[in-house]
């Protein structure tokens, strides 16, 4: 028998917004705990929450803290969390499968896309903004390393705004997997799948141009029994890094991961950290720009579905 999710707490702001039918956007926390160095992680947390607030949308950053999943953080929560975000290693990386153990043993952790989608859905939130989803890793033919983010998109009814998928992945294989799972992949005002740091790729996708059309499409998708949707929003052109330049760094990062025998859940943070160092912060700057862009688009989508009536 399923119990009421007693390890899930909504902040007062989030539960009021949801009760009143006002727009809410979920934000993940692995980017804060594992994706960005201090102090950029704190800066980005504040700036993403501010962007949403300025759009009239309630931010719901999702994180697990001492065995309790928090959906939305109050000012006091943030004050207590800030010193922990300064210390690397204070938080685990929690995918969906890690939540039961975290609840049981009182772990604290940043939630990945898969865990954040699940917690958002349980809270009643339909739109979630992240940087870039995980996907099929290069070398999957031998490692079988496919992110549970893809299974989450296949099974959890949340619309995820992301700058395509992480460029470190096997991008065509990731797109094939999403097609297999019947997950709509829609380019936000583009017909070219974005590659996280790079605005465009040669991979063609279907295009969606307006929040009004998103609201209609979302309703049809749910009526048809669909679950997740990926809205692929390119990094702003002025922040885009040419794919060939990034690819040289990515090849180096993958080599280093292989030499150091890094795999499993440690792989993505290792690769992103390697890129942050070798690009001398260039990848971090791009990551911040695309996150901001994704949050703005997500705000528009959340507002549009609130009006759908």
In Å, how far are 240, 273, 299, 301 from 284, measured between CA atoms? 12, 9, 23, 26
The answer to whether the peptide bond before residue 99 is cis (omega within 30 degrees of 0) is: no
**Whether the Cβ atoms of residue 108 and residue 68 lie closer than 8 Å to each other:** no
Minimal distance in Å, beta carbon 188 to ligand PSU?
19
Minimal distance in Å, beta carbon 31 to ligand PSU?
4
**Whether the Cβ atoms of residue 246 and residue 200 lie closer than 8 Å to each other:** no
**Residue 145 is a binding residue for Mn ion (CB under 5 A):** yes
- Give the interface segment with Mn ion, choosing from 137-145, 182-190, 216-224, 287-295 (CB under 5 A): 137-145
Q: How far apart are CA 78 and CA 72, in angstroms?
A: 10
* Nearest CB to ligand PSU, comparing residues 57 and 272: 272
- Residues paired with residue 232 on neighbouring β-strands, in sequence order: 162, 187
- Indicate if 166 belongs to the active site: yes
Q: How far apart are CA 9 and CA 119, in angstroms?
A: 10
Q: Return the closest-CA partner of residue 28 out of 96, 90, 80.
A: 96
118 binding partner (options ligand PSU, Mn ion, none; Cβ < 5 to 8 Å by kind): none
- Indicate if 82 belongs to the active site: no
149 binding partner (options Mn ion, ligand PSU, none; Cβ < 5 to 8 Å by kind): ligand PSU
User: Angle at which helices 113-123 and 148-155 pack, to 10 degrees?
Assistant: 30
* Nearest CB to ligand PSU, comparing residues 29 and 190: 29
- Give the interface segment with ligand PSU, choosing from 98-106, 147-155, 237-245, 293-301 (CB under 6 A): 147-155
Choice from 18, 60, 246, 272 touching ligand PSU (CB under 6 A): 272
Choice from 35, 72, 109, 293 touching ligand PSU (CB under 6 A): 35
In three-state secondary structure terms, 72 is: coil
* Nearest CB to Mn ion, comparing residues 145 and 239: 145
**Residue 228 is a binding residue for ligand PSU (CB under 6 A):** no
Helices (H) and strands (E) in the chain, counts: 13, 11
The contact set with ligand PSU (CB under 6 A) reads 28, 30-31, 34-35, 95, 112-113, 131, 134, 147-149, 265, 268-269, 272
Report, as residue numbers or ranges, the catalytic residues.
28, 166
């Amino acid at each position: 028998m399923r119990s009421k999710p007693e390890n899930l707490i909504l902040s007062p702001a989030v539960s009021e917004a949801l009760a009143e039918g006002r727009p809410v956007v979920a934000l993940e926390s692995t980017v804060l705990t594992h994706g960005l160095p201090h102090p950029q992680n704190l800066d980005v947390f504040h700036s993403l929450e501010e962007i949403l607030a300025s759009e009239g949308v309630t931010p719901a950053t999702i994180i697990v803290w001492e065995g309790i999943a928090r959906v939305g953080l109050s000012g006091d929560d943030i004050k207590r969390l800030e010193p922990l975000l300064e210390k690397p290693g204070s938080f685990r990386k929690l995918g969906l499968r890690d939540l039961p153990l975290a609840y049981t043993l009182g772990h604290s952790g940043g939630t990945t896309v898969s865990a954040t989608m699940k917690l958002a859905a349980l809270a009643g939130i339909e739109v979630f903004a992240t940087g870039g989803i995980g996907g099929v890793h290069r070398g999957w033919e031998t490692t079988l390393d496919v992110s549970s983010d893809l299974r989450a998109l296949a099974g959890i009814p949340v619309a995820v705004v992301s700058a395509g998928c992480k460029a470190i992945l096997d991008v065509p294989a990731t797109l094939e997997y999403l097609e297999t799972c019947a997950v709509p992949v829609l380019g936000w005002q583009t017909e070219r799948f974005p590659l996280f740091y790079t605005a465009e790729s040669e991979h063609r996708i279907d295009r969606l141009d307006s929040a009004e059309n998103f609201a209609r499409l979302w309703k049809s998708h749910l009526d048809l029994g669909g679950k997740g949707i990926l809205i692929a929003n390119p990094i702003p052109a002025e922040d885009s890094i040419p794919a060939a330049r990034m690819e040289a760094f990515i090849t180096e990062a993958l080599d280093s991961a292989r030499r150091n025998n890094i795999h499993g859940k440690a792989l993505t943070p290792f690769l992103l950290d390697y890129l942050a160092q070798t690009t001398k912060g260039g990848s971090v700057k791009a990551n911040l720009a695309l996150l901001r862009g994704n949050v703005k688009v997500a705000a528009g989508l959340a507002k549009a579905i609130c009006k759908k009536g």
